[in-house]
Structure 1
Amino acid sequence: MQRSEPSARYRQIAADLLDRIAAHEFSDGTPLPSEADLSQRYDVSRGTIRQAFAKLRADGVISSRRGARRTVVASPRVQSFDELNSFSHWARASGSTPSSHTVALELRAATPEERHRLELAHGDRVYHLTRVRLLAEEPVMIERTAYVEKVGALLPGMQLDTDSITDRLDELGVVLHSAEHTIDAVVASAEDARLLDLRPRTPLLRERRRTADLAGMPVEWSDDRWQANAIAFTVRNTRDVSHLLKQSSPRP
């Protein structure tokens, strides 16, 4: 009969692993030992190790994907709003390898919000793209973007899992020139949780973005949802021009 461990034991193990991570025994982005190895090291059941992993993940210290080893989370990458960069450009500039997984691309009628944000008429259509964005093969963000139809019609000819859409649009003469960003906190929906391999209602950082072309005409409206420990945003402003508008918003 398997003996039971005190309920505090997994906390002690989590604290010890945290100390080892802080001492750089396990560096950012590297996998931790397996459940079996740690179970033997600490002389506890694998269930206790899973509890310790769960605590570290809840604290934002490690991440995990189904069928993969737990990995030490790197410090949040910082994205500045000083210039408008694509996800791919930002990721490479921060020393990471970006990739994508396309979930869906569909041509459909614009929703009321999309009509409002993109200045469309009733009955106008949009191309709606859902992609999971990854850094070093770890899912960090869900991108849900509506494109005005004449621009979105260019997307089916792209390699959406590998191409930078911004770069490809530039090559085709569509320049994403300016953007307005709204950032707030939400909890993961069931779909968010499935796509990011998280528990439902995990806190996420949401960035809603409307992007315009050189003529100032809206081109895309996006709802991006980030794992909160994967990103930090910086905003620089002056007393002459305010780039950041604070406002209250209802809970989603």
Structure 2
Amino acid sequence: MGSIRYVEIAEALRAAIMGGEYPVGARLPSESDLAARWAASRGTVRQAVATLAAEGLIGSRQGARRIVLRQERKHSFSELNSFAQWAEGVGHEVSSRFLSRVRRPATVEEAERLAVAPGAEVLAVLRLRRLDGEPVMVERTAYAQWVAAAVEAMAEDCRSVMDGLARDWGVVAQYGEHLIDALPAGSEDARLLGLRRGSPLLRQRHVSANRTGRPIEWSDDRYRAGSVTFSVSNSAVTTPLARRTGEG
């Protein structure tokens, strides 16, 4: 019951921060005040606060009231921008690192998304993406064989694969399809993102293609909860998808 309770408290605090009750720079109430508000033990409150600290929403200094660090910023997906372009456009310092690059046979799903025969060779890439030094996303991407050599030639700390493909190889992504859902963190995701196994992750899967519709990549991107949200604004003529830092 206690484990469920700390999740409820973390969700309420997260909503209060994103709703403006605690603006950036504000201090959260003390652990004892929060415990009294939710009729919970200080240990349960401490777990909830630690969850928000792990998400980068609040400062993680011990022995002091936590300070709100995160504010919401929005980027529209009506234009096909890379993760790095979006992050830098809203004032973040972005860094990335290749953890592995391996050629292997495509899975059934990868083959379907990349429009290749089942078992055709793809380049499987694992990357860790950071915003302002904090790990926020684990990226698993299968690149079609026709761009594999270009991706293999990129530096380990390459800022953006798609930007590099466009700049150095003339391969420009002009079409994207996005699938968004949630899932619990497995052992590898939890280790890379500094979370507990089973913590919620926001997953964005997408395929990118060039102007002729030839698939370039099929990617499975898993974001730490609270680091990025997506929203859709409807109108009679368009339904732009937007990505934001923080919780929506």
Distance 2:213 2:94 in 1: 29
Q: Which residue of 2 aligns with 1:159?
A: 155
Corresponding residue for 1:206?
Answer: 203
Instruction: Work out whether residues 235 and 243 of structure 1, in 8 Å CA contact, stay in contact via their aligned partners in 2.
Output: yes
Question: Are the aligned partners of 2:55 and 2:224 in contact in 1 as well (CA < 8 Å)?
Answer: no
Q: Once the 2 structures are TM-superposed, how far is the Cα of residue 124 of structure 1 from its aligned partner?
A: 0.9
Match 1:110 to one of 106, 113, 117: 106
Q: Name stretches of at least 5 consecutive residues in structure 2 with no aligned partner.
A: 1-8, 32-40, 62-66, 242-248
The reply on whether 1:131 has 2:124 as its aligned counterpart is no
Match of 1:196 among 186, 193, 201: 193
Report deviation, 1:26: 5.2
| SS of residue in 1 equivalent to 2:182 | strand
Do structure 1's residue 99 and structure 2's residue 90 form an aligned pair? no
1:74 matches 2:70 = yes
Higher relative contact order (CA 8 A, sep 6+): 2
Residue identity in the other structure for 2:78: D
1:177 pairs with 2:170: no
Q: Structure 1's 50 and 133: CA in aligned 2 closer, same or farther, altered over 3 A?
A: farther
Q: Give the SS at the match of 1:153.
A: helix
Count of aligned pairs between the two proteins? 207
Aligned-residue offset at 1:84: 0.7
Q: How many angstroms does 1:72 deviate by?
A: 4.3
Q: CA offset at residue 116 of structure 1?
A: 0.8
Partner of 1:5: none
Corresponding residue for residue 215 of structure 1: 212
- Whether 2:50 is the aligned partner of 1:54: answer no
What is the aligned-residue identity percentage? 39
Q: CA offsets, 1:194-244, max 9 Å, x none?
A: 111101111111101011111011110000011120112133443356678
TM-score, normalising length: structure 1: 0.71
For normalisation by structure 2, the TM-score amounts to 0.72
Q: Secondary structure at the match of 1:22?
A: coil
1:186 Cα deviation (Å)? 0.9
**Contact in 2 for aligned 1:144/1:223 (Cα 8 Å):** yes
Aligned to 1:63: 54
Unaligned runs of 5+ in 1: 1-10, 33-37, 40-47, 245-252
C-alpha distance in structure 2 between counterparts of 1:188 and 1:118, whole Å: 26
Residue 146, structure 1, aligned to residue 142, structure 2: yes
Which moved further from structure 2: 231-240 or 207-216? 231-240
d(CA) in 1 for partners of 2:99 and 2:106? 19
Residue of structure 2 aligned with 1:121, choices 107, 117, 120? 117
Give the Cα–Cα distance (whole angstroms) in 2 for the partners of residues 154 and 50 of structure 1.
51
Distance 1:103 1:173, change over 3 A: same
